[in-house]
Structure formats: structure tokens, C-alpha cells
Homo-oligomer: A and B are copies of this chain.
Amino acid sequence: MTKPLTINPLKAKDFATDQDVRWCPGCGDYSILKQVQSVFAELGLDKDEVVVISGIGCSSRFPYYTETYGMHSIHGRAPAFVSGLKMANPDLDVWMVTGDGDGLAIGGNHMMHILRRNFNVNIMLFNNQIYGLTKGQYSPTSEEYKKTKSSPYGSLDHPINPIAFALGCDASYVARSMDRDPKHLKAMLHRSHKHKGAAFLEIYQNCNIFNDGAFFEFTDKATKADRALFVEHGQPLIFGKDQEMGIRLNGLQPEIVNLKHGLFTEDDLWIHDERDIHKANILARFSEISGLPRPFGVIYAIDRPTYEEVAFAQLDDVKSVKGEGNLDQLLAGNMNWEIK
């Protein structure tokens, strides 16, 4: 499909449908929706070339609210629909929306496989560490001993780390952002779109009804500077209200150092390298090392061929070697005989 001329580029509001948005008032999903609509506009997307595909969950209502093509599919399987759609039409601009339950409980396997296969899609995993739509059960990303409707005495499951999981699945792109930092979120959505391949973006999202405040330490003015670390390729890992803290690697162990004390300077710090899988793996584990801030931004990004690219190249290859198929020849096969 050739991209038609767009004379009047669309505005963010042009990407809003006429449907009432039915999330709870105050839900973090609103902000994400808004940023996505803005980014669609900023990217100058053609709404007829965009498809938003989701599973089931509060987050997965997303397609109903974006004025593009969209499919609200079934629970956990969005990656599979995306894969098939991309095989049918690799030119579409596909955005996938999923939740921590949809994408990591029932849908964990499809997530693994779409990541390793590297279809060219922008994946947004809304992580609110809870099942919202089913009214508040713990999810695979919920912290241990969480009291929820289904775990009145505390949950027992050790949570999955979405970033570590995605890296373990050989994702070509892994990033993290949050609902309450619109600027960062928009920047990350732009990057997702730019990435050719499966761009896995975890978005911390506040479910103010069933898990209010799960990420406040990273989003609240008071604590954000100390608890959130914004990584950028080629830049040292620095954080803190006055950018006074840094991270260095002591062997393989990340350590916080104070840049004010004069003992360490920026030169001692870990320089972020998106293409380094080992560094990415260590960053992924920051959440498990007490005291370390939580990394946001592009944790890992490399180029590798997309599945559809290779698949269509193979189709062309075979055609160029064997020639366009001839149906009569195919039906006849190699061995015939005649009855006269």
C-alpha cells in the first residue's frame, strides 16, 4: 500500500473516537491515551494506516478510544493477532496494548515469541501490578505478600520482572516509562515508533481504584528525583534532585556514588550503552537491589531483522528462483498418466 498524501496533518483530537472513555476517573490510562494521541499527531500518522491491537483488560480498552483501525481481541493473545496481521500487511503501523495480566499472565508465551521473532510493532505494556478489569486480583508483577481480593492473606508468587523477562526473550528493544511523566512517555513512544522491530515499552500505570500509589515513589515530585533514574544513550547514569548522584560499576556491581563529595566525578560513572546486553541485564535488576533508583528510558535497543522483512524476502527469493507459481503445473504434479 502506498502512503497517500496527507494534506492536513491530523491533530491529537483527531485520533480520539466518539466513544465515551470508560476508565475510572483518575485512572493512569487517561494520560497514556492522551500521550499516544499526541504522538500519533506529532508523527503525522495517517489514521487509516495505523492499527491498535489489544487483549482484554482495562488497558486493552484502548483501541476503542483511538480513531484508527483497531482490534480488541481476546485475553493474552494480542501478539498473535499482530503477528498474523503483519504477515498479511507489513506496511501497517501496528501498536499493541496489553496489561501486566494480559501480557504476562495468560499472554506471557505469546509475548516471548513475538519478542524473539521481532515483528515490527510498538508494544505498550501497561503495568499497574494488578488485574484492574476483574476488580483487583494480584498480577504476575504484584509484589510478594500483596493483599488483594484473591489473596486476603497476602499473595505468594514471586513477581516477574518485565524488563528482565523481555531481555531474556531476546527482545531487540526494551524500555520503560510512566503514565505521570507525559514528556518522557511521549519521548519513549517516539522512540518505540522509530525502532524497527518489536519495541517493548513497559509503562508504569496507576490503578487508583485497586492499587493506588504503586509507583508514587517514581512519579511524586517529592521522591521522583531520588528514586527515578532516566537513562540516555551515551550519557552517564545520574540522578537526584540536583543531579548529584551517579551510578558506577564496581566490577559487575552497580553502586551509587555522590558526585558532590568530590570522590567521584562523572568520568567514573557508568555510561549508558543501549546496545550492551550485559549492561541492560544489570539495569534490569536495579529494582531488586535495594537503594538503587529505578531506571526509565531505553534500556536496550539493537537492530536485527524483523520477522516480516525476512519472511517477505524469502517469498521473493523463492519466486525469483522458482518463478511465479503455475497452478496448472502444480495440479498436474510430476507423474501423470492418461486414460484414453
Contact = CB atoms under 8 A, between A and B. Distances in A.
A150 B304 CA distance: 23
Interface stretch (A48-56, A65-73, A157-165, A328-336): A157-165
Given A112-B108, A252-B252, A278-B281, A164 B153 contact: no
Residue of A109, A161, A282 most packed against chain B (CB within 10 A): A109
A167 B168 contact: yes
A314 interface: yes
A263 B109 CA distance: 47
Given A167-B168, A170-B164, A278-B285, A307 B156 contact: yes
Interface in A245-276: 249, 252-253, 276
Interface stretch (A3-11, A113-121, A212-220, A235-243): A113-121
A157 B117 contact: yes
Nearest to A309: B156
A164 B304 CA distance: 18
A310 interface: yes
A318 to B, nearest CB: 6
Contact of A281 (B154, B157, B161, B281): B281
Contact of A153 (B157, B158, B281, B314): B314
A262 to B, nearest CB: 25
Interface size class of A (residues with CB under 8 A): 35 or more
A113 B108 contact: yes
A166 B166 CA distance: 11
A304 B253 CA distance: 21
A191 interface: no
Given A109-B109, A252-B278, A282-B278, A160 B156 contact: no
A277 interface: yes
B168 A314 contact: no
A187 interface: no
Residue of A156, A276, A318 most packed against chain B (CB within 10 A): A156
B116 A159 contact: yes
A140 B157 contact: no
A279 interface: yes
A311 interface: yes
A314 to B, nearest CB: 6
Given A118-B158, A161-B170, A277-B285, 14 more contacts: A108-B109, A112-B160, A116-B157, A116-B158, A116-B160, A153-B314, A153-B317, A156-B311, A158-B170, A158-B304, A165-B168, A168-B169, A253-B278, A281-B282
Interface of A: 105-109, 112-113, 116-118, 140, 153-154, 156-161, 164-170, 249, 252-253, 276-279, 281-282, 285, 304, 307, 310-311, 314, 317-318
21 contacts: A108-B108, A108-B113, A112-B160, A116-B140, A116-B160, A117-B156, A117-B157, A117-B158, A118-B158, A153-B318, A156-B311, A157-B307, A158-B304, A161-B168, A164-B170, A168-B169, A252-B282, A278-B278, A278-B282, A278-B285, A281-B282
